[in-house]
A and B are shown apart, each in its own frame.
Chain A
Amino acid sequence: MTAVDLPGSNLTTRRSSLDLVLRARELGIVLALAALVAVTTISNPRFLSGQSIRDILLGTAILAVLAVGQAVVVITRNIDLSVGSVLGLSAFTVGTLLRDHPGLPVIGALLIGAAVGGVCGAVNGILVRYGNVPALVVTLGTLYVVRGITYFWAGGQQINADELPGGFLDFGNATLLGIPYLVLIALLVLVITGVVLRSYRVGREHYAMGSSPQAARLAGISVGRRTIGAFGVSGALAGLAGVLFAARFGTIDAAAGTGYELNVVAAVVVGGVAVFGGSGSVWGAALGALLLTTIGSSLAVLEINQFWQQAIVGGLILLAIGADRLVAARVAATLKKRGSHVH
């Protein structure tokens, strides 16, 4: 939406109306979420039970970590379709390591998982940067390659919960002050990434790249390095999500995370991150993840066929990008009008 040609007349007006629109978009998700929870709870009060909320939060934690990484990439006007495969490779790597070395501390597992993902992400970034090819094609390719490597390595074997050290499984279930560790980690990732993107120069440069790569280059931003960095972050977070996945489910095979890329892209798009880059926030992406996960639980509680979930996800993506275009057009019109008043 920042691709829209803005008249450069009144900086403060522009800033505030853009802010308003961005906030309004996140407000829309919050309202949709509130309506969904209200309707579901009226129909079945047990939807708001502790266990149910905990399940939603755990599901959201994994999806949100992926969505935060994806948002960073999408903001730079790229896309990372390989995240599901990277999650699978990381989960299987960490699962195998923990099975063979039960003494490995949880923090070590988290770091190794993130490192595995970070390497995959850096490869994506380097291919996009130096190959001069669209991220869509590169990450479509690595989606295959990384999944294939995991299958090649795993064969048909599966790692079960009873092979994993108890400490690691406890980490997947334990809570601090009633909040699961997984959720705390997701919040930590969200806050750090959000603050860096919002308030630090390196973060703002990602938005600048997404708005106009050429202008960003002219402004002296090292677009190539930022591209590799964004993919590295997305990969590392996908790797981290793989460890969370392993801790939560305890059972890992080569198919772990298959098809996740769709939900992740959906969460990001529904969360108001424009696919043309340059706009959106990780908070929105995380809210999108929360909304998608809640829809899944609501369908179960409302006894609606679970098969509707994917169709709803698809409908939401269409709705979100349609709304985005509508908002962009309206902002452009408003700004044009205001601009002409000043002149």
Chain B
Amino acid sequence: MSTDRLGRFANWNVAIIAVTVVVLIVAAATVDNFGTAQNFGFLILDLLPIALVALPMTLVIVTGEIDLSVASTLGLSSAVMGYLWNQNQPIETIIPLCLLLGAVLGAINGFFVTVLGLPSLAVTIGTLALYRGLAFVVLGDGAVADFPALYTDWVTGNIGGTSIPNVLIIIVVLAAVFGVVLHATPVGRAVFAIGTSEQAARFAGVRPGRLKFWLYVVSGLVSGLAGVLWTLRYSSARADNGAGLELAVVAAVLLGGVSIFGGKGALPGVIAGVVLLASLQNALRLSDVSNEALNVVTGVLLIVSVLAPNLANAVRSSLQRRRHRPEPL
């Protein structure tokens, strides 16, 4: 049974990557301007925040928990960045402070979930509201612009004379780090162990509480970084930056084959999920489908991605039952 399940998830990973490649090819062939180098640059800039936040989210969900506060952490980090910039602080101080802030916000989630033992869904719905509210308290509904061109140009700029955005470096490096940690280190094995059975993991010498706490800290830290990059990309610090992004991130992670029940998933699938979501949205937008109607696509993808493995399983087991049924005499 366990190898069967493993096979199922490996299959899902291959399938989602294949679907992503097909979508990219079809979109490039049928949608005007989709296949241009310039558009791919925009595509990467667009998927930047989702891709970054999806990396720690994958680990959190594999342990069987969830973090819905990521987009609010992004927003609060952006708001604080704007506030400090208004106070004439140097950007070199502001950016580390915003990253630290993100880590602290994550630690607060981690404290509630692991030390007090509260359900992560409820905790992070609470901090989703709390952090977003604090962002508005800090910055109100105005916007802060005029960040130094050196930084904003780097975020929106390309590598050398190519049309590859600089920020791709950040995505690739972080994805590699998270991929190695999840799939090739004891920490990653502990993450899977916790998601499969927390009790068994504890017997095997893993300290689930401590590991989960640090995962929340990392989730907050990366969300803070996403807030900084978001602010620099649009050169605009706003309290509502990234509102609703948590839904897209969870959708991309589940689409990537990570089980919401914990214990199963792989980072290549998640990256494919992010690319699939972003390129579908990009292609539909180029085809003049309204931004809001895109929500239907995201929602349907999300539902299908959780239904499909279950349906496949149901079909498989009914086939097996038929095979094993004794022949009528």
Q: Of the listed stretches A9-17, A169-177, A230-238, A309-317, name the one at the interface; the rest are far from the partner chain.
A: A309-317
A234 to chain B minimum Cβ distance, whole angstroms, is: 17
From A140, A266, A309, A321, B123 is in contact (CB under 8 Å) with: A321
From A143, A155, A275, A314, B121 is in contact (CB under 8 Å) with: A275
Q: Of the listed stretches A103-111, A130-138, A216-224, name the one at the interface; the rest are far from the partner chain.
A: A130-138
B262 to chain A minimum Cβ distance, whole angstroms, is: 11
**A 281-325 binary contact with B (CB < 8 Å = 1; else 0):** 000000000000000000000000101111111110110011001
**A 238-268 binary contact with B (CB < 8 Å = 1; else 0):** 0000000000000000100000001001100
Q: Is A147's CB within 8 Å of the partner chain B? A: yes
18 more contacts with CB within 8 A, not counting A133-B306, A307-B141, are A127-B303, A134-B306, A140-B247, A140-B250, A140-B302, A144-B299, A145-B295, A145-B299, A145-B300, A152-B293, A262-B125, A305-B140, A310-B130, A311-B134, A312-B133, A314-B132, A317-B122, A325-B118
Interface of B is mostly: helix
The contact sample of 21 A-B pairs, CB cut-off 8 A, is A131-B303, A131-B311, A132-B310, A136-B121, A138-B303, A141-B251, A144-B296, A145-B299, A147-B292, A149-B296, A152-B293, A155-B290, A308-B137, A311-B132, A311-B137, A317-B122, A317-B130, A318-B112, A322-B112, A322-B118, A325-B117
B117 to chain A minimum Cβ distance, whole angstroms, is: 7
Inside 8 A of A146's CB, which chain B residues have their CB? Answer: 299
Q: How large is the interface on B (under 10, 10 to 19, 20 to 34, 35 or more residues)?
A: 35 or more
**A261: nearest chain-B partner, CB-CB:** B125
Asked whether, in the complex, the Cβ of B125 is within 8 Å of the Cβ of A133, the reply is: no
Inside 8 A of B134's CB, which chain A residues have their CB? Answer: 311
Tell me the B150-204 residues at the A interface (CB within 8 Å). Answer: none
Q: Is B232's CB within 8 Å of the partner chain A? A: no
Complex alpha-carbon distance, A310 and B260, angstroms: 28
Inside 8 A of A276's CB, which chain B residues have their CB? Answer: 119
A173 to chain B minimum Cβ distance, whole angstroms, is: 30
Inside 8 A of B293's CB, which chain A residues have their CB? Answer: 148, 151-152
Q: Is B22's CB within 8 Å of the partner chain A? A: no
Asked whether, in the complex, the Cβ of B131 is within 8 Å of the Cβ of A318, the reply is: no
Asked whether, in the complex, the Cβ of A152 is within 8 Å of the Cβ of B116, the reply is: no
B249 to chain A minimum Cβ distance, whole angstroms, is: 11
A138 to chain B minimum Cβ distance, whole angstroms, is: 6
* Known interface pairs A142-B303, A307-B137; A318-B121 also in contact (CB < 8 Å): no
Q: Is A269's CB within 8 Å of the partner chain B? A: yes
Tell me the A170-197 residues at the B interface (CB within 8 Å). Answer: none
A302 to chain B minimum Cβ distance, whole angstroms, is: 15
From A134, A315, A321, B122 is in contact (CB under 8 Å) with: A321
Inside 8 A of A311's CB, which chain B residues have their CB? Answer: 129-130, 132-134, 136-137
Asked whether, in the complex, the Cβ of B118 is within 8 Å of the Cβ of A140, the reply is: no
Asked whether, in the complex, the Cβ of A321 is within 8 Å of the Cβ of B118, the reply is: yes
Contacts from B to A (Cβ < 8 Å):
66, 112, 116-119, 121-123, 125-134, 136-137, 140-141, 239, 247, 250-251, 254, 260-261, 290, 292-300, 302-303, 306-307, 310-311
Asked whether, in the complex, the Cβ of B126 is within 8 Å of the Cβ of A318, the reply is: yes
Asked whether, in the complex, the Cβ of A143 is within 8 Å of the Cβ of B247, the reply is: yes
Asked whether, in the complex, the Cβ of A275 is within 8 Å of the Cβ of B119, the reply is: yes
- Total interface residues in chain A, CB < 8 Å: 44
* Known interface pairs A151-B293, A152-B290, A275-B119; A137-B303 also in contact (CB < 8 Å): yes
Asked whether, in the complex, the Cβ of A136 is within 8 Å of the Cβ of B260, the reply is: yes
Central interface residue in B66, B118, B311, by most chain A CB within 10 Å: B118
**B112: nearest chain-A partner, CB-CB:** A318
Asked whether, in the complex, the Cβ of B116 is within 8 Å of the Cβ of A143, the reply is: no
From A127, A143, A307, A317, B140 is in contact (CB under 8 Å) with: A307
Inside 8 A of A275's CB, which chain B residues have their CB? Answer: 119, 121-122
B100 to chain A minimum Cβ distance, whole angstroms, is: 20
* Known interface pairs A131-B307, A143-B247; A305-B137 also in contact (CB < 8 Å): yes
Complex alpha-carbon distance, A144 and B250, angstroms: 12
**A82: nearest chain-B partner, CB-CB:** B299
A153 to chain B minimum Cβ distance, whole angstroms, is: 9
